[in-house]
C-alpha cells in the first residue's frame, strides 16, 4: 500500500529569500514613519522571523562550507561595510556606537561555532568540556553585550541553540525563539520562523553567489533617501 510522502518545498535559497524579505519589512517600518498598525505588522510580526532563520542558515553554512576561514572573513567584511548604511537608515547618523548591525552578531556566532567545534574535537573529560564550552559561550555573550550588537546576549544564546541542536532544527528554532523572548517576551512572532524552518528540505537550492552580502548593505542604502521623503 503506497502512502503519500510530504515533500518539503523550501531549500536554503528559499529560506534566505524569506529571511531577507522579513528583514526588509522590519527595516522599512523602522526607517520610515509608518502608522502603528503597519509597524506592528511589518516589524513586530513579519520582521521577527528573520533572525531565527539567519541563525539556522549560519549553523548550516558553518557545517557545510568548504572554507570556514573565508566564511568568517566575508562576514567580517560585510559587518564592517554595512555599519554606516545601517546607522544612516535606522539611526540617522553615520556611526552610532550604541548599536551595531546584525552581521556583527552573526560574526560572533560564527566565531563561537568555531571555538565550540574545536573544543569538541579535543580529548577532554565531559565535565571539563562542558565547563570550557560554558566559559566560551559566556565570553562571546559578553562580547556581544560590550559591542552592543543587534540582539546582544540573547542573540548569541539563540545561535548556540542552533549549534547544539543542529540535528533537530525545529527544536533548535523553538529553543532559540524562546531565548529571544526571555527579555519580557518581546518577540512572540519569532516563533513563526519554525514554519519555514520545518519546511526546509536540506538542499542548498539555486544560490546567487554573494547575493545576501550585496542585499544587506544595498537595501539599507536605498532606505536612506526614502527617509528624507517620507519621515
Does residue 87 sit within a domain? yes
On the question of pLDDT at 3 being above 60, the answer is: no
pTM: 0.93
Q: Under a CB-based contact definition with an 8 Å cutoff, are residues 219 and 76 in contact?
A: no
Does residue 150 sit within a domain? yes
Does residue 159 sit within a domain? yes
Domain boundaries, position 166: 12-230
Total domains in the chain come to 1
Does residue 98 sit within a domain? yes
Q: Report the distance separating Cα 101 and Cα 107, nearest Å.
A: 10
Does residue 198 sit within a domain? yes
Backbone angles phi, psi at 99, to 5 degrees: -160, 120
Does residue 78 sit within a domain? yes
Residue 1: per-residue pLDDT: 42
Percent of the chain with pLDDT over 90: 74
Residue 30: per-residue pLDDT: 87
| Distance (Å) of CA 73 to CA 68, 76, 188 | 9, 5, 33
Q: What is the rounded average pLDDT of the residues 86-110?
A: 92
Q: Under a CB-based contact definition with an 8 Å cutoff, are residues 180 and 149 in contact?
A: no
Does residue 2 sit within a domain? no
Neighbours of 64 (CB within 10 A): 9
Does residue 52 sit within a domain? yes
Alpha-carbon dihedral of residues 142, 148, 150, 155, nearest 10 degrees?
A: 10
pLDDT tens figures, 39-81: 999 999 999 999 999 999 999 999 998 899 999 999 999 999 9
Q: What is the rounded average pLDDT of the residues 91-119?
A: 93
Distinct helix (H) and strand (E) counts, the chain: 10, 0
Residue 124, all three cell numbers: 577532554
pLDDT tens figures, 108-145: 999 999 999 999 888 888 889 999 999 999 999 999 99
pLDDT interval class at 226 (50, 70, 90): confident
Percent of the chain with pLDDT over 70: 96
Amino acid at each position: 500500500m503506497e502512502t503519500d510522502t510530504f515533500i518539503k518545498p523550501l531549500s536554503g535559497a528559499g529560506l534566505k529569500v524569506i529571511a531577507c524579505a522579513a528583514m526588509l519589512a522590519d527595516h522599512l517600518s523602522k526607517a520610515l514613519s509608518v502608522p502603528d498598525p503597519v509597524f506592528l505588522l511589518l516589524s513586530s510580526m513579519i520582521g521577527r522571523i528573520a533572525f531565527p532563520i539567519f541563525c539556522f542558515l549560519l549553523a548550516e553554512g558553518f557545517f557545510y562550507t568548504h572554507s570556514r576561514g573565508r566564511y568568517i572573513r566575508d562576514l567580517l567584511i560585510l559587518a564592517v561595510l554595512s555599519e554606516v548604511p545601517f546607522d544612516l537608515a535606522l539611526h540617522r547618523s553615520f556611526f552610532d556606537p550604541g548599536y551595531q548591525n546584525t552581521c556583527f552578531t552573526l560574526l560572533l556566532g560564527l566565531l563561537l561555532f568555531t571555538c565550540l567545534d574545536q573544543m569538541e574535537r579535543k580529548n577532554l573529560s565531559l565535565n571539563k568540556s562542558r565547563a570550557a564550552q560554558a566559559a566560551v559561550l559566556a565570553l562571546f555573550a559578553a562580547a556581544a553585550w560590550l559591542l552592543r550588537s543587534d540582539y546582544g546576549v540573547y542573540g548569541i544564546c539563540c545561535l548556540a541553540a542552533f549549534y547544539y541542536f543542529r540535528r533537530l532544527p525545529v527544536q533548535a528554532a523553538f529553543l532559540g525563539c524562546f531565548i529571544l523572548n526571555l527579555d519580557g517576551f518581546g518577540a512572540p512572532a519569532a516563533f513563526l520562523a519554525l514554519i519555514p524552518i520545518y519546511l526546509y528540505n536540506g538542499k542548498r537550492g539555486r544560490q546567487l553567489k554573494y547575493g545576501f552580502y550585496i542585499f544587506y548593505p544595498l537595501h539599507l542604502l536605498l532606505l536612506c533617501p526614502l527617509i528624507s521623503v517620507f519621515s
